[in-house]
């Protein structure tokens, strides 16, 4: 209470707390010091005023319940979550450690094929074909072409050097793309890093077990199969790889294990197969094409579609430029000079030949080999290309479009070394039906040289005579058989040479019956016709079946002077890296079948087929040649087989389903194919004479001689009369026995 008047005021207790406003210093007069808090000047600097606290919001009962519940849930979730996370991290670490301990050295992972491969070399030791999955040898990320190294990283995993095995960003992006395209989240794009792709290539450490999987293809298909569980398993395995190996070691495994189409396993094998060079030497354009195969090896393989492969390579070049691996000038140069296939890869020649060679060697060293095998062969790429181009030319220019007619060609040397083989009109996949080696077809008149070979080897002369007159034979169990000539005419008395040149059927049957069918069968078999030869008189007309390879080999025996020939394509077989061969050539010239003189006479007779007989369309201007046409009943098969002094070539034409050919005989399209082939094959080859002898002409029988009459069934063939005054007694007796004029 205020007291008026003089005197001391009332006693007042000091305030223990003051407000911020009250504590604000005020100026004192006369240069006095700042006042402190309270009443005295303690010298303590004043505190700045703080922002006033907002009063806690007042919640109602419902608010307190809701927020209290949420808080409790969060505390429970957090409490459980960090514990679960800790346990999960511990399990993940344990799994990573387990996989880490299981991972072998890098060198044990670069090649895990359970089957080997076969590489084929031509006669000049150049690669022309492969079978199985080839492994070109180990390459490393440090030695591979820098262009290829960068192309793979740019294409498959641009953040490869910035992640630890997995890329959450990449996986999220892949899921977004898959969902946007109407697929499941893990279907299609997987967002896998290179490390994860390597984990798939290694099948997450599960080895191939032949007892569990039907084939390696099934095993690898299962390894590549997606799914949540496999993705989950990839994570610790990939992280273990990142702990175990360096980034370059992971790339090394990838470079060696990736499948790149056409049977190539790893970039070294693919580079050798497509470009004929090591993966260490590829340029930017080639590297981009190889890296482009990783997305879809078969689809983007340059041997399948070069335009598509180049388009894909241009995409890769764009990625390399975008990420700084190529300058704009380097990328432009690579696009202006795209990759080209090697000659062997571009031609894709020799596929039928390689299949045949595979069949001639033991399976455990070819189709079932567990080693990498090298086979040197007799193939001549120039001749092979000539044969393929000649066949394509005739079908393009002489046969109506859309025809399903097929053809096959075999070319060999006189010793049986096969130089080229075309098993069908189109270059087909490995293992396709080979019409040159697998198709058994009736030979028709192409068989007739063996009939005359038997006669010549028994002493007949090409100038001897036989009658081309009607003939009927009684076949036990079948009745009467009356052969006819293709022109339905009869020439009367003609020489053996004319009979063969004009492919007269009746003279061939008469000669075969005179010398004995057993002799004819033996001659044909000894020359290499392995099929079951007909036992009846139709043997002489080619009623038996044979393959084109057998027929061509048999004609090679005529060219080489009368010795048998076993066609061969394998020169030697060895394991990769070894010098000593395991197998050598298994073919070549064998035992003599007919005398050299007989072979030379027969060559002369066959030369007349081309010069003046049924094979004139095969004639080679300025180069002597010999051969024989063949057409079977109803024209289901048409043949021309012949030779020059340098090469023997056989051509077959027909339908796979035995449909008759329309207007085609052996002297027609097959002879034209043979001509086109031999013209190309002999380009640059010096002209050499045929190994033949021209026989002395003989006087035909006198007109007063009785005409040849067919004996009654079971009666011997009557012998014609002739002038014996100038004959050697032994020769005269032999002719009497054979019924030869």
Three-state SS letters, 444-489: HHHHHHHHHHHHHHCCCCCCCEEEECCCCEEECCCEEECCCCCCCC
Helix, strand, coil percentages for the chain (3-state, nearest 5): 40, 10, 45
d(CA 253, CA 244): 13
Residue 181 CB-half CA count within 13 A: 13
Q: Judge contact between 540 and 344, C-beta under 8 A.
A: no
Distance CA 355, CA 374 (A): 14
Angle formed at CA 394 by CA 388 and CA 398, multiple of 5 degrees = 160
State the Cα–Cα distance between residues 459 and 437, nearest whole angstrom. Answer: 34
pLDDT at 16 over 70: no
Q: What is the pLDDT of residue 611?
A: 96
| Residue among 669, 581, 666 nearest 629 (CA) | 666
CB atoms within 10 A of CB 162: 8
pLDDT band at 401 (very low <50, low <70, confident <90, very high): confident
The larger pLDDT score, comparing residue 178 to residue 719, is at 178
Q: What is the largest CA-CA distance in the chain?
A: 196
At residue 42, the pLDDT reads 41
- Whether pLDDT at 298 is above 80: yes
More confident residue, 177 or 664: 664
Q: What would the mean pLDDT of 585-607 be, rounded to a whole number? A: 96
What percent of the chain has a predicted confidence (pLDDT) above 90? 55
Strand partners, 642: 627, 649
Between these two residues, 148 and 708, which has the higher pLDDT value? Answer: 148
| Model pLDDT, residue 430 | 54
Q: What are phi and psi of 159, to 5 degrees?
A: -100, 25
Q: Please, are residues 510 and 539 in contact by the beta-carbon 8 Å criterion?
A: no
- Find tokens 């440090």 and name the residue: 142
Q: Count Cβ atoms below 10 Å from residue 335 Cβ, excluding itself.
A: 17
CB burial class (10 A; 0-12, 13-18, 19+) of residue 108? exposed
pLDDT confidence band for 43 (50 / 70 / 90):
very low
Q: Is the pLDDT of residue 610 over 80?
A: yes
Is residue 246 predicted with pLDDT exceeding 90? Answer: yes
421-449 average pLDDT score: 86
- pTM exceeds 0.85: no
Lowest-confidence range among 89-103, 245-259, 684-698?
Answer: 89-103
Please tell me the distance from the alpha carbon of residue 81 to that of residue 87, in angstroms, as a whole number: 10
pLDDT at 15 > cutoff 80: no
Q: Name the more confident of 6 and 666.
A: 666
Q: Which CATH architecture has domain 411-426+434-682?
A: 3-Layer(aba) Sandwich (3.40)
Please give the residue that has the higher pLDDT: either 43 or 382.
Answer: 382
Asked whether residue 63 carries a pLDDT value surpassing 80, the answer given is no
CB 716 within 8 A of CB 440: no
First to last CA, the chain: 176
Asked if the model's pLDDT at residue 455 lies above 70, the reply is: yes
Ranking 19-23, 264-268, 712-716 by mean pLDDT, the lowest is: 19-23
Mean pLDDT of 94-112: 85
445-454, 482-491, 606-615: the lowest-pLDDT one? 482-491
Lowest mean pLDDT among 97-111, 205-219, 669-683: 205-219
pLDDT at residue 716 tops 80: no
What tokens were used for 229?
């569980």
What percent of the chain has pLDDT above 70?
A: 82
What is the length of the chain? 741
More confident of the two residues 663 and 283:
283
Task: Give me the pLDDT at residue 728, please.
Answer: 53
Range with the poorest average pLDDT among 107-111, 631-635, 644-648: 107-111
pLDDT band at residue 710 using 50, 70 and 90 as cut-offs = low
Q: Do domains 135-343 and 411-426+434-682 have the same CATH topology?
A: no
Confidence of residue 428 (pLDDT cuts 50, 70, 90): low
C-alpha 116/C-alpha 486 separation (Å) is 54
Indicate whether 315 pLDDT > 50: yes
Indicate the pLDDT class of residue 24, thresholds 50, 70 and 90: very low
Cα-flanking dihedrals φ and ψ of residue 315, to 5°? Answer: -65, -45
Residue 226 tokens read as: 């997606």
| CATH code of the domain made up of 135-343 | 1.10.3810.10
**Per-residue pLDDT, 421:** 96
The pLDDT value recorded for residue 22 is 41
Contact 482, 505 (CB under 8 A): no
Please state the rounded mean pLDDT for residues 551-567.
97
Q: Which is more confident, 414 or 55?
A: 414
Mean pLDDT of the chain: 84
Q: Categorise residue 684: left if φ over 0, alpha if ψ from -120 to 50, beta otherwise.
A: left
**Can you list the positions of beta strands (E) in 471-578?**
473-475, 479-481, 492-495, 545-546, 563-566, 570-575
Positive or negative CA dihedral for 481, 483, 484, 486? Answer: positive
For residues 148 and 154, give the distance between their C-alpha atoms in angstroms, rounded to a whole number: 10
- Distance separating alpha carbons of residues 141 and 280, to the nearest angstrom: 10
Domain ranges of the chain: 135-343, 411-426+434-682
pLDDT computed for residue 369 by the predictor: 85
């Amino acid at each position: 209470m205020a007291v008026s008047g003089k005197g001391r005021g009332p006693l007042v207790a000091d305030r223990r707390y003051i407000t911020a406003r009250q504590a604000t210093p005020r100026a004192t007069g006369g240069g006095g010091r700042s006042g402190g808090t309270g009443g005295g000047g303690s010298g303590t600097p004043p505190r700045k005023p703080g922002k006033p606290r907002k009063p806690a919001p007042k919640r109602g009962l419902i608010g307190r319940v809701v927020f209290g519940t949420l808080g409790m849930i969060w505390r429970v979730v957090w409490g459980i979550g960090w514990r679960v996370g800790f346990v999960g991290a511990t399990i993940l670490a344990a799994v990573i450690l387990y996989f880490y301990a299981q991972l072998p050295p890098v060198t044990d992972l670069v090649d895990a094929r359970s089957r080997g491969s076969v590489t084929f070399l031509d006669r000049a030791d150049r690669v022309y074909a492969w079978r199985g999955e080839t492994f070109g040898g180990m390459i490393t990320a440090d030695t591979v072409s820098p262009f290829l190294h960068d192309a793979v990283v740019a294409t498959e995993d641009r953040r490869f050097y910035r992640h630890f095995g997995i890329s959450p960003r990449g996986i999220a992006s892949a899921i977004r793309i898959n969902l946007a395209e109407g697929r499941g989240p893990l279907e299609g794009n997987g967002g896998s890093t290179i490390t994860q792709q390597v984990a798939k290539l290694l099948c997450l450490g599960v080895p191939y077990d032949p007892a569990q999987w039907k084939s390696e293809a099934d095993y690898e298909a299962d390894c590549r199969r997606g799914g949540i569980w496999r993705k989950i398993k990839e994570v610790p395995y990939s992280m273990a790889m990142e702990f175990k190996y360096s980034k370059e070691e992971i790339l090394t495994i990838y470079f060696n294990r990736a499948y790149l189409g056409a049977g190539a396993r790893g970039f070294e094998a693919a580079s050798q197969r497509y470009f004929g060079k090591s993966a260490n030497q590829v340029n930017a354009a080639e590297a981009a094409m190889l890296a482009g195969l990783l997305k879809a090896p078969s689809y983007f393989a340059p041997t399948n579609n070069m335009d598509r492969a180049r388009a894909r390579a241009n995409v890769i070049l764009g990625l390399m430029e975008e990420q700084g691996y190529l300058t704009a000038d380097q990328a432009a140069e690579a696009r202006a000079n795209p990759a080209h296939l090697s000659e062997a890869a571009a031609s894709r020649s020799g596929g039928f030949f390689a299949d045949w060679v595979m069949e001639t060697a033991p399976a455990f060293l070819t189709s079932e080999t567990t080693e990498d095998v090298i086979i040197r062969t007799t193939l001549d790429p120039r001749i092979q290309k000539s044969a393929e181009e000649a066949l394509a030319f005739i079908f393009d220019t002489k046969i109506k479009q859309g025809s399903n007619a097929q053809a096959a060609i075999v070319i060999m040397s006189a010793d049986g070394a096969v130089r080229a083989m075309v098993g069908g009109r189109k270059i087909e996949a490995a293992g396709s039906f080979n019409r040159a080696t697998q198709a058994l077809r009736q030979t028709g008149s192409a068989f007739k040289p063996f009939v005359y070979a038997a006669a010549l080897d028994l002493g007949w002369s090409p100038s001897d005579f036989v009658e081309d007159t009607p003939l009927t034979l009684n076949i036990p169990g079948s009745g009467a058989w009356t052969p006819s000539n293709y022109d339905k005419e009869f020439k009367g008395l003609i020489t053996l040479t004319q009979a063969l040149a004009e492919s007269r059927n009746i003279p061939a049957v008469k000669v075969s019956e005179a010398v004995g069918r057993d002799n004819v069968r033996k001659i044909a078999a000894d020359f290499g016709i392995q099929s079951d030869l007909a036992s009846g008189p139709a043997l002489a007309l080619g009623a038996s079946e044979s393959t084109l390879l057998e027929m061509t080999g048999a004609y090679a025996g005529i060219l080489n002077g009368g010795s048998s020939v076993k066609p061969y394509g394998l020169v030697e077989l060895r394991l990769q890296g070894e010098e000593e061969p395991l197998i050598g050539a298994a073919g070549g010239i064998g035992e003599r079948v007919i005398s050299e003189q007989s072979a030379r006479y027969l060559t002369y007779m066959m030369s007349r087929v081309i010069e003046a007989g049924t094979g004139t369309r095969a004639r080679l201007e300025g180069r002597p040649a010999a051969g024989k046409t063949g057409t079977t009943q109803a024209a289901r098969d048409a043949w021309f087989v012949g030779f020059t002094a340098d090469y023997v070539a056989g051509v077959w034409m027909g339908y796979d389903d035995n449909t008759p050919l329309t207007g085609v005989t052996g002297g027609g399209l097959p002879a034209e194919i043979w001509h086109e082939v031999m013209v190309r094959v002999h380009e640059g080859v010096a002209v050499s004479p045929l190994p033949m002898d021209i026989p002395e002409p003989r006087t035909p029988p006198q007109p007063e001689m009785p005409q040849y009459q067919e004996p009654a069934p079971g009666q011997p063939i009557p012998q014609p009369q002739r002038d014996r005054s100038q004959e050697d007694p032994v020769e005269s007796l032999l002719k009497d026995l054979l019924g030869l004029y």
